[in-house]
Structure 1
Amino acid sequence: MASADDFIELGSSGLQRTSGFVIDEFISDLRGIRGARVYREMSDNDPVIGAMLYAIEKLILAIKWEVEPWHEKDKDVKKKDKENAIFVEECMHDMSESWSAMISQVLSFLTYGYAFCEIVYKKRVSPDAKTGMKRSKFTDGKIGWRKIALRGQETLWDWVFDDGGGVRAFQQSDPSVPKGLVTIPIEKGLLFRTANPRNNPEGRSVLRNAYRPWKFKKTIEEIEAVGIERDLAGLPVAYVPPSMLSSAATSAEVSARNAMQDLIRRIKRNENEGVLFPLAYDEQGRELYKLTLLNSGGTRQFNTDAVVTRYDQRIAMTVLADFILLGHDKVGSFALGASKIDLFTSAIQQIADTIADTFNDHAIPRLFRLNGMNTSRLPKIKAGEITHVDLGVLGDFVSKMTSAGAMQPDAGMDNYLRALANLPPRNEEEGGMMAPQGMDPLTGQPVPPAPPAGAPAGAPAGAPAGEPPPPEATNLYEMVSQQEQQKGG
């Protein structure tokens, strides 16, 4: 018999938080708004990270998103279920921004680890309605999606948690909007996350493992730039009277010393270069002030280019995208790159499926409840497949399977191969796949020569006139056997 404790959550996820602020990240620079700014700098400034995110975004935006009606296994789809699927598809393409634009905003969860989007509904009244709350392509009066709008990660103030650690609301503080603190209930939003460690509402950025190599790379590039500048301009050195550097220097001497320090810091080689410098001598005729540029004594000990390249590779490896560097550093096999691309596309497929699951688990059930519709037979949004197919390898495989008689070319295979190759669809009047002239469409083998004149219809080649034809083959095995007998005869 069940006890009361069986229905109570006794433990916790272990997520470290204080009030509504998540502090689970052990690097303080990557927490909260400060962390969001770091991740934005990484995605906006680093070319390798930018290429990675660009590739992921464009591949996902190229996916065909479909709505599958609810149906029982091995049974036909009912009319009502088809209508429900059509309704969801209408809502997807009846928002104030396109579906692709919305997906592009959702993909910000790759950079920040999460993306919180507010669902704004509308009444489907008329395309000419004056207010967006009623403007729609449809006039059935149903409730649809007006927009699914991203709430910027850098505007997050804190989260509202319940006693069990679940998220109850997203609290936003946008300094550009004079609303103050805005609380958006979780029931009115969609929370997309790349991962769900300890039920952390902020997920985990796909750039998290790239932070350390990115930081070192950034530092080295800055040092490299300063070193190049100093090699070109020289190291400025100013000679001044000893009294200006003593602790007993007068205020005038301190002021002159500060001006001199500021001067040598600002020396650069550009179109505005030039120095205004005092000319003064002591009683012995020696210069009181002198400015020189010390040139580099030789090349540096370290090859910074190799170091930066190493960090580029490690950054790309964190999201399985190191294939983008093939050819840039003149190393790597393109055959190996093909395998890496397959792994990369598999990971992207999972990201697209995660987005679809969030809609199916939360957005669609709420939409149907608002419309008073049955929620036991809900349609589902499905992300299309991200395919990377070597047509040469596939063609060789199909040819061998067909020649062996293990595969029969038909209309279904024809349509599939045409779609993979981005060829126009088959004309319905054409029937199945057309075999080459003189080839059997089922086995891919040469067709035997026609029987001699006067032989009965259906007689094999070389059969004497009047001999009855062999029985008609009823399956692929019998057909192949008869053809082998004909060859042997």
Structure 2
Amino acid sequence: MFRQVDWRAVPANDTPEAQAWADFLEECRADMSHTWPSFVAEVLTMLVHGWAYFEVVYKLRRGPEQVEAKYRSRYNDNRIGWRKFALRPQRTLSAWDYDGDGGIQGMYQSAPGGRVFIPIQRALHFRTTEASGHPEGRSMLVNSRRAYRFQTRLEEFEAVGVERDLAGIPHITVPVEHLSPDASAAEQATVQLIQDMAAGLRADERAYVLTPAEEYGMEDAEGKIHRLPTGYSFKLLTSGGTRAHDTDAIIKRYSQRIATSLLSTFLLLGGSEGKGAQALSADLTSLFELAGTGILGGIASVINRFAIANLMRLNGVPPELWPRLEHGGLSDAALNAMLGQLGNLMNAGGITHDTNLEASLRQKLGLPERAKSELSVGAATGGQ
């Protein structure tokens, strides 16, 4: 969804000069060594780690024939453009550098030849939150980790339980003297051989149960009872009955909690039970899109404040002419499809225009409501 969002350069004002610098910004976006959607995808790694750090690499635009990447460009106007926004993976973080006031000065990256310092002036630092000035933000998965841990363990227990119910657990008995610390080398070798054979029957952590052999009583000619071991035996242990807990319902409950922590519970509507309300789905989807729009707004703010401002400053552009990047909505594609279908229906006479339809369209398009005086006139004329 985020990769498909449209981005566009907006000029600072209506003058031709401002429009020219907005066009220059679009040129720089299209002239990088990577695509813009791939850059957005790398920025979104901050949702998992809480932060994402990019080094801004520039180039001098001297034409496409240049051999060196720092000069190669589609354009040859000798302006400074973006070569790439290079992600510095979160796993390579060595340390953060702060100034005397606690401000972030840069990142030390672990590299094969030692630590490399990347100053904040040449970087784009994206964070999910800037609370307390912490440079690593907060992962959006933090709230779901407890539910995920329990859900994963229950799924493993459920799978092992089903397997054991169907196949059983091998149970082997051996003479008690074979398990004694004083057992001979031959007896120990025999036990080891039996264990290897039993372990090959199952693939779980506890593939079998090995116990001393049971004993039985035998009366001799003098009437004395002697306890004798049964020797070797092999059998399969199965569960004594059905399980008392519905693991499927418990696992679904944890799935619900995980989805709730990410505002994506609409993904669980319907499912195998066929339940779910369209109105509820629309509300939950709108909430998810609202959160996603907030994330996109934070990304645009960092790009406008640091990437574009530094680019314009290096090219000597006055601040009053600096363009900015704006993003589209997450559901623009669905909205455009709906408008196309609506237009076809209205042209075919399948649906007619009225005040309710107009009010709904205005809300979806983010347009202001119609004036009450116009509504009164429309009602008096039959909505024509």
How far residue 264 of structure 1 moved from its aligned partner, in angstroms, is: 3.6
Paired amino acid for 1:141: N
Q: Of the candidates 138, 152, 156, which is equivalent to residue 204 of structure 1?
A: 138
Partner SS for 1:399: coil
Counterparts in 2 of 1:258 and 1:152: CA distance versus 1, 3 Å: farther
Q: Of the candidates 29, 44, 63, which is equivalent to residue 126 of structure 1?
A: 63
Conserved in 2, the CA contact under 8 Å of 1:169 and 1:184?
yes
Alignment of 1:248-287 (within 5 A): 248-250=182-184, 252-254=186-188, 256-268=190-202
1:360-397 CA distances to partner (integer Å, 9 max, x unpaired)? 11111111222233234321100112346576999999
Conserved in 2, the CA contact under 8 Å of 1:320 and 1:340?
yes
Counterparts in 2 of 1:190 and 1:295: CA distance versus 1, 3 Å: same
Q: Of the candidates 327, 348, 358, which is equivalent to residue 270 of structure 2?
A: 327
Pair 1:377 & 2:314 matched = no
Q: Of the candidates 399, 403, 412, which is equivalent to residue 353 of structure 2?
A: 399
Separation in 2 of the partners of 1:215 and 1:346?
Answer: 28
Separation in 1 of the partners of 2:175 and 2:381?
Answer: 108
Separation in 2 of the partners of 1:172 and 1:298?
Answer: 57
Paired amino acid for 1:372: G
Alignment of 1:351-390 (within 5 A): 351-387=295-331, 389=335
2:4 corresponds in structure 1 to 62
Paired amino acid for 1:315: I
Separation in 1 of the partners of 2:379 and 2:304?
Answer: 52
Q: Of the candidates 256, 267, 283, which is equivalent to residue 313 of structure 1?
A: 256
1:439 corresponds in structure 2 to none
Counterparts in 2 of 1:200 and 1:253: CA distance versus 1, 3 Å: farther
Q: Of the candidates 105, 110, 117, which is equivalent to residue 54 of structure 2?
A: 117
1:108 corresponds in structure 2 to 45
How far residue 84 of structure 1 moved from its aligned partner, in angstroms, is: 1.5
Identity of aligned residues (%): 37
Q: Which structure 2 residue ranges, 5 or more long, are not aligned?
A: 204-217, 219-227, 366-372
1:415-466 CA distances to partner (integer Å, 9 max, x unpaired)? x99x97xxxxxxxxxxxxxxxxxxxxxxxxxxxxxxxxxxxxxxxxxxxxxx
Pair 1:169 & 2:100 matched = no
Conserved in 2, the CA contact under 8 Å of 1:172 and 1:183?
yes
Partner SS for 2:319: coil
Partner SS for 1:201: coil
1:272-308 CA distances to partner (integer Å, 9 max, x unpaired)? xxxxxxxxxxxx9976322221122222111111111
Separation in 2 of the partners of 1:397 and 1:160?
Answer: 63
Conserved in 2, the CA contact under 8 Å of 1:326 and 1:334?
no
Separation in 2 of the partners of 1:397 and 1:314?
Answer: 41
2:29 corresponds in structure 1 to 92
Counterparts in 2 of 1:259 and 1:180: CA distance versus 1, 3 Å: farther
Paired amino acid for 1:337: S
Counterparts in 2 of 1:261 and 1:164: CA distance versus 1, 3 Å: farther
Partner SS for 1:372: coil
Counterparts in 2 of 1:211 and 1:262: CA distance versus 1, 3 Å: farther
Q: Which structure 1 residue ranges, 5 or more long, are not aligned?
A: 1-58, 72-76, 270-283, 408-412, 421-474, 485-489
1:289 corresponds in structure 2 to 232
Partner SS for 1:60: coil
Counterparts in 2 of 1:69 and 1:224: CA distance versus 1, 3 Å: same
Counterparts in 2 of 1:156 and 1:482: CA distance versus 1, 3 Å: closer
Give the structure-1-normalised TM-score. Answer: 0.63
Pair 1:235 & 2:169 matched = yes
Q: How many matched pairs? A: 342
Pair 1:151 & 2:95 matched = no
Paired amino acid for 1:318: S
Partner SS for 1:357: helix
Conserved in 1, the CA contact under 8 Å of 2:12 and 2:320?
no
How far residue 213 of structure 1 moved from its aligned partner, in angstroms, is: 0.6
Counterparts in 2 of 1:262 and 1:180: CA distance versus 1, 3 Å: farther
Separation in 2 of the partners of 1:127 and 1:144?
Answer: 13
1:67-120 CA distances to partner (integer Å, 9 max, x unpaired)? 11113xxxxx12221122111111111001111111111111111111111111
Partner SS for 1:135: coil
1:19 corresponds in structure 2 to none
Separation in 2 of the partners of 1:401 and 1:159?
Answer: 58
Conserved in 2, the CA contact under 8 Å of 1:197 and 1:204?
no
How far residue 233 of structure 1 moved from its aligned partner, in angstroms, is: 2.2
How far residue 476 of structure 1 moved from its aligned partner, in angstroms, is: 7.9
How far residue 400 of structure 1 moved from its aligned partner, in angstroms, is: 2.6
Separation in 1 of the partners of 2:356 and 2:242?
Answer: 64
